[in-house]
A and B are shown apart, each in its own frame.
Chain A
Amino acid sequence: MSIKKSILSTAGTLVLAISSLLPLSAQAQLKIGVTLHPYYSFVANIVGDRAELSPLIGAGYNPHGYQPQAADIKRASELDVIVVNGIGHDEWAFEILQAAGREEDLPKIYPNNAVALMPTSGKDQTANAHTFLSISASIAQVYEIAKQLGTLDPVNADFYRTNARNYATRLRQLKAEYMPQIAALDTSKFKAATMHGAYGYLMQEFGLQISAVVEPRHGVEPTARQLAETIDEIKSTGVTVLFAEKYFASKLADTIEAETQVKIFSFSHISDGDYTADRFELDMRQNIEELLGALEYSASLNADNMSNN
């Protein structure tokens, strides 16, 4: 080896060694992948401009039963870390990581590691993976993400923690904004069904329960017999409102409405549209407003019944 080559080789090794000792912020920003819209919002609010965010799949795809594309594999190959649900809502992400050869080496943040799970409402008693469809459970996930990112990027750990706390406060304020209106209503006879068994966490944090779920399993439409059973259940339990899916069209809701005279409201699954920092807040606001509308409707039925008696 010539002296020139030897010097270059030694210099290259030194540069690599020094760069590995530098804090992450001095080298490059973390490139963080996310699988779901809520995670994009959570991470964007935690990291601000100190990390780069990259959704693993493009906007506009339904995360239920998503089929991986070639572009996803390229994106996965460029990530430093990924935030992934991992308990049943984004199994396609693992296929993408495997195809990109990143399944083993890519650090993964599982926000649900810090969340106490509950069973899915209705007949499907598997663990409910939709922890991001609630304020409280989302706050727990925001904290977990901030903690794990702080471990990977210790220079910015305090920044992430402060942002996580501020974001959590904002989310709580969002919920609190509607509490006086909801608290003024008679919710004692509120009985609701949902198309999708996802909303147990959301209802629970308002102290409400779901009486029936139309889908027998996550993302699976009921058979004619199952639908008939659910209609009977709705009638026998006195359900008066049905929460359909805002972005997933279904004729089932219309059929159930015609059969049972329930009034239809719609929840957002927060899995559609552009990935933005405020997506979670915007969609959760809509969900709480829909819930408020349903509670007002239920309270008006109670008032009518009282006056008729």
Chain B
Amino acid sequence: MSSTELVKPSSSKWETLVLIAGFGLLLAATTIYVLTFGREEQQAQLEVWQVSAYDGLSDVDQAVYNALYTAQEDIGWIQYELGPYPDIATLEDYLIAPFAKDLSWANTGRVQWHFRDVVQEGEMQGYTLYHGNGGSAPDQSAYLLVLGHLHSGYVLANHNTIWIHPNPNQPMPKNSTQQSMILEGWKNVVPYLGRDELERLKGSSN
């Protein structure tokens, strides 16, 4: 004779309902919490003429962009020290990517770089341009670093922008006003900086 006795509840209906209700309540509370306190988007909403350097570029474009982003700082410092803006040959001599013709340059499409020094007249007046095109890597774009320096001596504080064009052979724009470049199909690349990540994580970058 077995010593085990199976005891059944008089009705399992209420227990099941309570469990389902409890689970539903937990799910609703979690959803409300995530919607209220969840992580913000990593990058602010971009305009249609902008593209994120963080997740909007192909691998090769991101590599060229990141090199160009560091190079703009070098260019500013070289100009601060030497006076004139460095041309492509000078940047190659300094081994500065993406201009130096090394393995990185070869693996990122062998982009041909062109330099246009401080423009003296017309809509591009006051800008120095570094333009790269002719790259042959898959998903390659054309690139443009625009250095704004309306007042000499203030280079390090001035605003620079980097643009890309989906046509890797796109020539240097004739007009560098934002509107005309956008109409030509250039897109302004917006970096996701450590400062942005700090603000997302800690609410401040100071």
> Contacts A116-B193, A176-B95; is A204 near B103 (CB within 8 Å)?
no
Instruction: Tell me whether A87 and B95 are in contact (CB under 8 A).
Output: no
B195 CB contact (under 8 Å) in A110, A119, A143: A110
Residues from chain A with Cβ under 8 Å of B142 in the complex: none
What's the Cα separation between A105 and B201 when bound, in Å?
A: 19
Report the minimum CB–CB distance from A126 to chain B (whole Å): 9
B51 within 8 A of partner (CB): no
Contacts across chains A and B counted by CB atoms under 8 Å: 114
A175 CB contact (under 8 Å) in B95, B105, B191, B192: B95
How big is the B interface, by class? Answer: 35 or more
What's the Cα separation between A143 and B100 when bound, in Å?
A: 20
A139 within 8 A of partner (CB): yes
Number of A residues with CB within 8 Å of any CB on chain B: 40
Instruction: Tell me whether A206 and B103 are in contact (CB under 8 A).
Output: yes
Residues from chain B with Cβ under 8 Å of A187 in the complex: 103, 107
Residues from chain A with Cβ under 8 Å of B191 in the complex: 116-117
9-residue interface stretch from B12-20, B21-29, B52-60, B172-180: B52-60
B198 CB contact (under 8 Å) in A113, A165, A175, A183: A113
1/0 contact string of B88-132 vs chain A (CB within 8 Å): 000000111100101111111000000000000000000000000
What's the Cα separation between A239 and B106 when bound, in Å?
A: 22
A86 within 8 A of partner (CB): yes
B63 within 8 A of partner (CB): yes
Q: Is the interface of A mostly helix, strand, loop or mixed?
A: helix
Instruction: Tell me whether B54 and A118 are in contact (CB under 8 A).
Output: yes
Question: Nearest B residue to A91 by beta-carbon distance?
Answer: B201
Report the minimum CB–CB distance from A87 to chain B (whole Å): 5
Instruction: Tell me whether A140 and B69 are in contact (CB under 8 A).
Output: yes
B62 within 8 A of partner (CB): yes
A8 within 8 A of partner (CB): no
Question: Nearest A residue to B42 by beta-carbon distance?
Answer: A127
9-residue interface stretch from A57-65, A70-78, A166-174, A274-282: A166-174
A87 CB contact (under 8 Å) in B54, B55, B97, B201: B201
Report the minimum CB–CB distance from B192 to chain A (whole Å): 5
Question: Nearest A residue to B104 by beta-carbon distance?
Answer: A207
Residues from chain A with Cβ under 8 Å of B77 in the complex: 143, 161, 165
B163 within 8 A of partner (CB): no
A303 within 8 A of partner (CB): no
A298 within 8 A of partner (CB): no
Residues from chain B with Cβ under 8 Å of A201 in the complex: 66
Residues from chain A with Cβ under 8 Å of B63 in the complex: 204-205, 207
A209 CB contact (under 8 Å) in B59, B69, B100: B59
What's the Cα separation between A10 and B67 when bound, in Å?
A: 57
Question: Nearest A residue to B96 by beta-carbon distance?
Answer: A172
Residues from chain B with Cβ under 8 Å of A88 in the complex: 201
What's the Cα separation between A17 and B202 when bound, in Å?
A: 36
A108 within 8 A of partner (CB): yes
Instruction: Tell me whether A113 and B205 are in contact (CB under 8 A).
Output: yes
A252 within 8 A of partner (CB): no
Residues from chain B with Cβ under 8 Å of A86 in the complex: 194, 198, 201-202
Instruction: Tell me whether B97 and A117 are in contact (CB under 8 A).
Output: no
A136 within 8 A of partner (CB): yes
Instruction: Tell me whether B94 and A137 are in contact (CB under 8 A).
Output: no
Report the minimum CB–CB distance from B58 to chain A (whole Å): 11
What's the Cα separation between A209 and B106 when bound, in Å?
A: 14
Question: Nearest B residue to A203 by beta-carbon distance?
Answer: B63
B10 within 8 A of partner (CB): no
Residues from chain A with Cβ under 8 Å of B67 in the complex: 136, 205
B152 within 8 A of partner (CB): no
Instruction: Tell me whether A137 and B198 are in contact (CB under 8 A).
Output: no
What's the Cα separation between A201 and B206 when bound, in Å?
A: 25
Interface contacts beyond A114-B194, A117-B192, A179-B102: sample of 19 additional A-B pairs, CB < 8 Å, sorted by A: A116-B65, A116-B69, A116-B193, A117-B193, A117-B194, A117-B196, A117-B197, A118-B62, A137-B66, A140-B69, A140-B70, A168-B74, A169-B94, A172-B96, A204-B59, A205-B97, A207-B60, A207-B103, A207-B104
* 18 residue pairs from A and B, CB less than 8 Å apart: A87-B194, A112-B194, A113-B193, A114-B194, A116-B65, A116-B192, A117-B191, A117-B193, A127-B192, A136-B67, A137-B66, A137-B70, A183-B103, A187-B107, A201-B66, A204-B63, A205-B97, A209-B59
Q: Which residues of A contact B (CB under 8 A)?
A: 86-88, 108, 110-119, 127, 131, 136-137, 139-140, 143, 161, 165, 168-169, 172-173, 175-176, 179, 182-183, 187, 201, 204-209
